[in-house]
């Protein structure tokens, strides 16, 4: 390479290097001592000597979550052309246009760009005002959850070790941001009042955001994400809500994040099994019970039995918790048995002629695409929990496989 080198004062350069070396030694020694004394130290968990975050490269985690999220990345403009999003790149738009050109006249008409007014009119054709309000009440509950998912995943970025895990969590932050802003527009398109967070959602989500370190993985990726994907799964077959399949697929990937992370950075036995931690996990989940009672009416309007819905959520939560190593106060089947007894008791008191049944065996996801994704994630783990490698790496492009 031909460059006209500029003259430099060599002596000044040598002095500057020496000053830097002295300050470098002082700064790093100070931070090492402060860390040893438990008084802080370096704020970033970054290892600049190895050009990696502390914890190493962890390329497997990067491949399973960062690379895959980018492969499966969806754009709101293509999935909801009626929305205000204009997020397609030039190349994506060209592919989109090419695909449009190859369609027949009738197909083109069917796929014509739907405006916001068209979409609203379509919703009005399909739903009564009460049904629209029920959908908004149920969807906005998880819409508020998306706001917290965005904040919690951003907080987790500081708690996970390794470059691969940070890349994986970064994709979750991006996807939760997209979920929040896109779902907000979907909900608003229904044109009915959007309710505030209920007290139970408030308590649940604040509890998750306040949880210690990677217990946030339990609160968000296991508990809240399972509720979210179950809601998306129960509604994705409804007209105008097909976009929820995309949300569902992202949430499915997020629920696999803890178990994939703990394969490389396992929790200690105390973290998994400590009595306090197990009790806190149950306490964190408790607001979901009154939340279900509150949503019973709206779910019923949509033909969904609230206790079947809750039973399927709890079954999935218990499976994912134990698989990741977040043990609960009692083994899974015992926990589920207790919840089932409680649900049946409530139904005996409030539903005339109620016959005792196993709500924990129910499934409220009706959409085929959704059902296939769920079958792969929630297939029973061979040994119940923790390092159940085969069960935690589903075959398709869903959660953990490459
Ligand atoms: Fe989300
Ligand atoms: Fe998520």
pLDDT in tens, 205-220: 999 999 999 999 999 9
Residue 44 lies in a domain: no
Q: Angle at CA 231, nearest 5°, toward 116 and 122?
A: 25
Q: Angle at CA 56, nearest 5°, toward 53 and 61?
A: 100
Residue 157 lies in a domain: yes
Are residues 103 and 143 in contact, defined by beta-carbon separation less than 8 angstroms? Answer: no
Residue 261 lies in a domain: yes
Residues with Cβ < 8 Å from 80, sequence gap 6 or more? 119, 182, 185, 186, 243
User: Cα(274)–Cα(360) distance, rounded to whole angstroms?
Assistant: 26
Side-chain half-sphere exposure of 295, counting CA atoms within 13 A: 32
Distance 12 CA to ligand 2 centre (A): 53
> pLDDT band at 148, cuts 50/70/90?
very high
More confident residue, 381 or 199: 199
Distance 265 CA to ligand 2 centre (A): 21
Are residues 305 and 151 in contact, defined by beta-carbon separation less than 8 angstroms? Answer: no
Q: What percent of the chain has pLDDT over 70?
A: 91
| Domains of the chain: total | 1
Query: Looking at residue 98, what is its pLDDT?
Result: 79
Ligand closest to Cα of 179 equals: 1
Ligand closest to Cα of 223 equals: 2
Distance 186 CA to ligand 1 centre (A): 14
Residues with Cβ < 8 Å from 247, sequence gap 6 or more? 179, 183, 228, 229, 232
Query: Looking at residue 181, what is its pLDDT?
Result: 95
Ligand closest to Cα of 247 equals: 1
Distance 248 CA to ligand 1 centre (A): 8
Ligand closest to Cα of 221 equals: 2
Alpha helices in 211-273 (DSSP H): 215-216, 225-235, 244-255, 257-264, 269-273
Does 391 score more than 70 pLDDT? Answer: no
CATH number of the domain at 301, please: 1.10.620
Distance 265 CA to ligand 1 centre (A): 24
Query: Looking at residue 286, what is its pLDDT?
Result: 95
Distance 154 CA to ligand 1 centre (A): 13
Distance 8 CA to ligand 1 centre (A): 54
> pLDDT band at 178, cuts 50/70/90?
very high
**Whether the model pTM is above 0.75:** yes
Of 16-25, 177-186, 306-315, 377-386, minimum mean pLDDT range? 377-386
Residues with Cβ < 8 Å from 217, sequence gap 6 or more? 156, 257, 258, 261, 324, 326
Residue 229 lies in a domain: yes
Distance 209 CA to ligand 1 centre (A): 15
Distance 399 CA to ligand 1 centre (A): 14
Does 112 score more than 90 pLDDT? Answer: no
User: Cα(178)–Cα(150) distance, rounded to whole angstroms?
Assistant: 9
Residue 24 lies in a domain: no
Does 399 score more than 50 pLDDT? Answer: no
Ligand closest to Cα of 254 equals: 2
Distance 50 CA to ligand 1 centre (A): 33
Distance 277 CA to ligand 2 centre (A): 23
Residue 105 lies in a domain: yes
> pLDDT band at 389, cuts 50/70/90?
very low
Query: Looking at residue 230, what is its pLDDT?
Result: 95
Residue 399 lies in a domain: no
Identify which of 196, 203, 215, 202 has the alpha carbon closest to the alpha carbon of residue 152: 215
Distance 317 CA to ligand 1 centre (A): 16
Domain encompassing residue 238: 50-392
Does 38 score more than 80 pLDDT? Answer: yes
* Mean per-residue pLDDT of the chain: 90
Residue 212 lies in a domain: yes
pLDDT in tens, 46-57: 999 999 999 999
């Amino acid at each position: 390479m031909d460059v006209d080198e500029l003259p430099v004062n060599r002596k000044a350069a040598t002095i500057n290097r020496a000053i830097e070396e002295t300050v470098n030694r002082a700064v790093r020694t100070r931070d090492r001592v402060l860390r040893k004394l438990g008084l802080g130290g370096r704020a970033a968990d970054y290892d600049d000597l190895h050009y990696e975050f502390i914890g190493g490269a962890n390329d497997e985690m990067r491949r399973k979550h960062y690379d895959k999220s980018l492969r499966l990345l969806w754009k709101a403009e293509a999935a909801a052309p009626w929305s205000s999003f204009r997020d397609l790149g030039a190349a994506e738009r060209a592919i989109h246009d090419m695909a449009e050109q190859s369609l027949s006249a009738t197909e083109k008409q069917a796929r014509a760009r739907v405006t916001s007014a068209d979409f609203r009119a379509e919703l009005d054709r399909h739903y009564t005002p009460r049904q629209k309000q029920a959908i908004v009440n149920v969807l906005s509950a998880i819409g508020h959850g998306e706001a917290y998912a965005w904040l919690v995943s951003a907080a987790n970025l500081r708690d996970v070790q390794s470059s691969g895990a940070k890349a994986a969590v970064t994709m979750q932050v991006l996807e939760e941001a997209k979920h929040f802003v896109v779902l907000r527009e979907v909900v608003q398109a229904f044109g009915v009042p959007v309710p505030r967070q209920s007290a139970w959602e408030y308590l649940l989500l604040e509890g998750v955001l306040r949880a210690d370190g990677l217990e946030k993985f339990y609160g968000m990726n296991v508990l809240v994400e399972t509720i979210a994907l179950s809601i998306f799964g129960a509604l994705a077959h409804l007209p105008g809500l097909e976009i929820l399949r995309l949300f569902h697929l992202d949430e499915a990937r997020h629920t696999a994040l803890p178990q994939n992370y703990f394969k490389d950075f396992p929790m200690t036995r105390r973290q998994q099994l400590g009595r306090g931690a197990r009790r806190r996990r149950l306490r964190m989940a408790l607001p979901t019970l009154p939340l279900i009672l509150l949503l019973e009416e709206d779910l019923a309007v949509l033909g969904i039995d609230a206790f079947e819905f809750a039973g399927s959520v709890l079954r999935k939560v218990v499976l994912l918790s134990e698989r990741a190593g977040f043990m609960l106060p009692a083994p899974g089947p015992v926990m589920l048995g207790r919840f089932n007894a409680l649900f049946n008791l409530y139904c005996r008191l409030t539903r005339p002629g109620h016959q005792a049944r196993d709500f924990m065996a129910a499934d409220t996801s009706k959409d085929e695409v959704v059902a296939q994704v769920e079958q792969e994630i929630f297939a029973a783990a061979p040994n119940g929990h923790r390092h159940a490698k085969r069960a935690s790496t589903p075959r398709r492009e869903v959660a953990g496989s490459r």
